[in-house]
Amino acid sequence: MDDDSELFDRIVAFVRGVGISVTTGQVAPDSFLPAIAVVDGRLVIDRARLQWPGDILHEAGHIAVTEAAARATLNAVPDDGGEELAAIAWSYAAARAIGLDSRTLFHAQGYRGDGDWLAETFDGGTYIGLPMLVWMGMAGDPSDASDGPTYPTMRRWLR
């Protein structure tokens, strides 16, 4: 439990540090992830029910890639394939920034059973969703370092 608490604290500190509000409280059992909800552009986390702390980064990624004008009114994760891919790429960059193993983020019980595949894919240098982050101005393409830092280093954490 101490390791989980330390991991939780590290992840939450990072998410808050990039400008996303995080609170703890009860989350409706029918939320997409049973212990995390997006409410008015912030994360609400039910610590008693949280099984996979890495999921916090993925949900934070959804908030981060939402346009600034819409972020404060976000009350659910949008059903947008491009933003889903961007959130996956964002969460990997976040995990790297705080020194987490990719399998803490891409765990076997998440991502519709593709967690192991995603970890191997990202760790191998194939960055699914990166074109969206580049298009949003949040990351630089690793094939062109002439314009500043390249992914998985982020140029900015919020869209």
- Residue-wise pLDDT for 64-120, tens only, equals 999 999 999 999 887 888 999 999 999 999 999 999 999 999 998 888 889 999 999
What is the model's pLDDT at position 2? Answer: 52
Average pLDDT, the chain: 94
The reported pLDDT for the residue numbered 29 is: 85
My answer on whether omega of the bond before 142 falls inside 30° of 0, hence cis, is no
Q: What's the pLDDT tens digit per position in 25-34?
A: 999 888 888 8
Q: Would you kindly state where each structural domain of the chain is located, as residue ranges?
A: 2-147
Comparing 34 with 15, which gets the higher pLDDT?
A: 15
Q: Could you tell me the pLDDT band of residue 1, with boundaries at 50, 70 and 90?
A: very low
DSSP string for residues in 44-88: EE-TTT---THHHHHHHHHHHTS-HHHHTT--S----HHHHHHHH
- Percent of the chain at pLDDT > 70 equals 98
Rounded CA separation 56/54 (Å): 5
Count CA atoms closer than 13 A to 55's CA, side-chain side.
Answer: 24
For residue 75, the model assigns a pLDDT of 93
